[in-house]
Amino acid sequence: MAMNGTLEHAAAALLDGRLTDPFALLGPHDEGGGTVVRTFQPGAEEVSLIAQSDEHELGTLKGTGGLFVGRLAENVAYKLRIVWPGGAVQETEDPYSFGTVLGDLDLHLFGEGRHWGLGHVLGAQPRAMEDVQGVAFSVWAPNARRVSVVGDFNNWDGRRHPMRLRHGAGIWELFVPRLGAGSRYKYEIAGADGSTSQRADPLARATEAPPATASVVAATPDFHWTDADWLAERTARQGPDAPISIYEVHAASWVRPEGNREGTLDWRGLTERLIPYVADMGFTHVEFLPIMEHPFGGSWGYQTLSQFAPSARFGRPEDFARFVDACHRAGIGVILDWVPAHFPTDPHGLAHFDGSHLYEHADPREGFHQDWNTLIYNLGRREVAGFLLASALWWIETFHVDGLRVDAVASMLYRDYSRNAGEWVPNVHGGRENLESVDFLKRLNEVVAECCPGAVTIAEESTAWPGVSAPLEQGGLGFSYKWNMGWMHDTLQYVERDPVHRAWHHNEMTFGLVYAFSEKFVLPLSHDEVVHGKGSLIGKMPGDRWRKFATLRAYFTFMWTHPGKKLLFMGGEIAQDSEWNHDAEVPWHLLSDPEHASVQRLVRDLNRLYAKEPALHARDADPSGFQWIVGADSENSVFAYARLGHGDVPPIVVLINMTPEPHRNYHVGMPRAGRWREVLNSDAALYGGGNIGNDGLVEAEPTPALGQPASATVVLPPLAAVILRFEGGRR
């Protein structure tokens, strides 16, 4: 069939992979008083048209160079019947006979950066169009010259399924009939710079397991949740007055499968083993290092490429949903680390995605992160900010996760973060604050609070930026909590010192109370403290084996009784004696050693006591819930303080001796006269200590001391902490 010059030019562009408007050439077209159909099927021997209704023949197409052209005999819905070499016959609807995939409202909201449901719209969406099942593909690449969807279904040939550009929004789209969940795919992009590359889908909801890099069509989310009671209680469970104790986990290396030290437990295995362990240990939450798909396991997930896809390392997306549901049934919340600050430069990813700096800043002073050799999201671009906001909501809404810990917030807030003079670009006012990132973080917290009541956001933020966890209406960033990096740094520095030197550094333990109520804090002993040559927690403690274990027990007790929520990285609870190795597992064999098992027992008991005693958690963000009793006895390295609840809640007094010698007649003020029960002693034999203490009871006399209305003479065990709870009047 003859073609005019315009069509010949389009056909040549198709064969060369240069066709920018495939719908102008392919599919059905009214020409010369009838309908002409064109389809590109390179390698096919025959192509004919058949009726969808009863499959009677409607015409035969003639082919040249893979482009088959013919006239439709009747004006009815048709299918393509394709005969391949060897006699294989394929019947399918014509992708170029369908209308547009996305609605105008979707395009408008995406362009405004306000489409919170992108995970249900863009990417690869199994759906029906005109009663035909298939997959609707769509991807943002406004500067590309041509985008095609490629996969096993078309031999990864970018000429087979070029996509339609929705001008204005910069989104390319195509409906591919008879394709379904499980199909591998990428986008082949002819970039604005003349390059051609195959890219993973930024909106993929499933991926191949690394090192493979293809995206995978995921089934429409259809999981039956059983956690309605949990979600109804979530706001109360995660509020500032609730006990929150977080077990931080790297899913791949918590434990390895039996007999396979290089293998990884999937979500089913983690459901069977991790959930009972976390529940037994008394942690209220489990927090995962990023489980979003990432190409390099050694990044621990912090170099994320698929912001909507749970890593295929651990199974299917629905398996992750089942894990979260099981956590909720066990009374455990789930927090995910989430990385909106930067992304890796892998060639199948987001870098220079459409031949231009699309997701990242063009200027390396803004767009390249020197510390991690990664690219920085251009959060001033509405589409990029909206993409990330939709990702945040995707995890909370689709998988019912209870919170996001936002990584590297400090690097987002400051344009000169980790940069020397001349290596950064000031903001429009000449300052160092990253105004676009500030707006993004505020918007993130506003949207999460509005759309997902009860979910929390937690900032990993290490600077003195004011109001990180203050409400938006008060000028804050609006996070639920902030990691207290200063507390972690100062107190670890103190306990690492030999006791003989601690008297001169007493303020390292007390300074945190100066600002403890300026934010709603989480006290973190995270993975960052046991990597890159920092050793293990037990390894940081000075002295011989007895002193190391005693100091760690005292430090844990100090942490669990200090204002602020708690976070402990896996392995810390058993006094892991080696630095964390992501290629190994937690050295569980250490539990055969009574001292390691005793530390685990102490952490379990601290969690239970912390949850049971309102005085230890109900006023974490209220300065009236804490009171120093002894804060300046640097000579004896003693700390004493009271934790106070509301109303008739029994107060708690904590006494800590950070020297290796007991103080047997230490006189201390007490908030009330009467009996005080010794509810925990980190030197108890139960925890591997020397069993020095107060025989379970302290009697406070109505004699004022140290600004308190009562006082008592107590025994302070060496390198230990004692927790006393008020029980009532004097005997």
Pairing of strands 215-216, 184-190: antiparallel
Is 407 among the residues known to form the active site? yes
**Measured between alpha carbons, how far is residue 151 from residues 19, 80, 199, 214 in Å?**
19, 20, 11, 9
Is 460 among the residues known to form the active site? yes
Nearest by Cα to 162 from 177, 172, 171, 153? 172
Rounded to the nearest 10°, the torsion over CA 15, 214, 149, 144 is -80
CA 503/CA 204 separation, integer angstroms? 56
Q: Are 639 and 653 spatial neighbours (Cβ–Cβ below 8 Å)?
A: no
Q: Which candidate in 248, 325, 407, 613 is catalytic?
A: 407
CA 540/CA 247 separation, integer angstroms? 20
DSSP-derived secondary structure letter, 463:
S
Region label for 233, one of left (φ > 0), alpha (ψ between -120 and 50) or beta (otherwise): alpha
The residue behind tokens 């010949």 is 8
In three-state secondary structure terms, 472 is: helix
Phi, psi of 190 (to 5 degrees): -90, 105
Pairing of strands 89-92, 184-190: unpaired
Region label for 72, one of left (φ > 0), alpha (ψ between -120 and 50) or beta (otherwise): beta
In sign, the C-alpha dihedral spanning 105, 106, 107, 109 is positive
**Measured between alpha carbons, how far is residue 385 from residues 117, 389, 441, 449 in Å?**
13, 6, 10, 17
CA 306/CA 296 separation, integer angstroms? 12
CA 447/CA 449 separation, integer angstroms? 5
The residue behind tokens 């549901």 is 325
CA end-to-end distance (rounded Å), the chain: 108
Q: Both tokens of residue 289?
A: 């290092």
DSSP calls for 662-720: -EEEEEEEESSSEEEEEEEETTSGGGTS---S-TTEEEEBS--BTTBSEEEEEEE-TTE
Q: Both tokens of residue 91?
A: 């019947």
Q: Both tokens of residue 26?
A: 């392919």
Q: Both tokens of residue 56?
A: 């009677």
DSSP-derived secondary structure letter, 221:
P
Largest CA distance in the chain: 109
The total number of residues written for the chain in this structure: 731
Q: Which residues contact 38 (CB under 8 A, 6 or more apart)?
A: 25, 26, 27, 29, 61, 67, 68, 69, 96
Pairing of strands 245-249, 565-569: parallel
CA 334/CA 234 separation, integer angstroms? 11
Give all strands (DSSP E) within 266-329, no chain letters.
285-288, 292-293, 306-310
In sign, the C-alpha dihedral spanning 118, 121, 124, 125 is positive
In three-state secondary structure terms, 10 is: helix
Q: Which candidate in 287, 383, 460, 461 is catalytic?
A: 460
CA 342/CA 332 separation, integer angstroms? 30
Q: Known catalytic residues?
A: 407, 460
